[in-house]
Amino acid sequence: MVPAVFLDRDDTLIANSTLPDHAFRGGRRGDLADPEFVTLLPGVASACARLRAGGYALVVVTNQGVVARGGATLAEVEATNARLESLLPDPQRTGQSLLDRVYSCPYHPNGSVREFAVEHPWRKPCPGMLLAAEAELGLDLARSWLVGDAGRDIEAGRRAGLDEARLLRVGPGQPWSGLPAAVDHILGHD
C-alpha cells in the first residue's frame, strides 16, 4: 500500500478565481469546464514531480457541480481534466501523467439536470472520492495527505479518516501559500 496526496483541482493545481468571466460555462464563476483555460499555478509541475519522487500517489478529487447545473457536459469536464493531466507529464513513464487518477463529482443537489441533481457520497465534503481511490489504487490513508483551498476539501479528508495534521489548506491567508509550500511541508515531515 502506498500513501497518496489527494489534491483539489481548482485554485490548488490550476488557476480558477483569477480567470476572466468568459472562461466559465453556465454563467457561474468557478465552474471551469473548458480545456483552453487550464493553466497550472506557479510551481505546481515541480511540486507534483517532487511528490512522485517522494513515493506518493497523486490523486485529484474535484467537485464539478457545473454538470448538475447544466453549465457543462460530463465530456467537457473530462476534457478539462485530461488537459490538466497532459500538463503534468511523468518523465519516468512515457505518455503518462504524474497524476495517478482524477476523480470528478458531477452531482449537486440543487442542479437542474435530473440525472445529476442529487446529493452524492462523492461530493465533497463527503469522503467518497477519497475512499474510492483508496479501494481502487490500494492506498494507505494513514500515511496520506490532502491539499485543498476550501473547507470542504479539508472536511472530506477528515471524514475519510486522514490525520488532522495531514490536511493542508492553501491559498491567501492560509498557512501554506500554495502547493509548493505544502509540498515542502509534506516532504519535510515524512
Whole-number Å distance between alpha carbons of 154 and 80: 23
Query: In 44-178, which residue ranges form alpha helices assigned H by DSSP?
Result: 44-53, 74-86, 128-137, 151-159
Catalytic status, residue 21? no
* Nearest C-alpha neighbor of 30 from the set 180, 131, 119, 150: 150
Query: How far from chain centre, in Å, is Cα 135?
Result: 18
| CB-CB neighbours of 54 under 10 Å | 13
Cβ atoms within 10 Å, residue 87: 18
SS3 content of the chain, % helix, strand, coil (to 5): 35, 20, 45
Residue with C-alpha cell 493545481? 13
Q: Residue 95 and residue 128: Cα distance in Å, rounded?
A: 29
Question: 179 with 170: CB under 8 angstroms?
Answer: yes
Active site residue 31: no
Active site residues: 8, 10
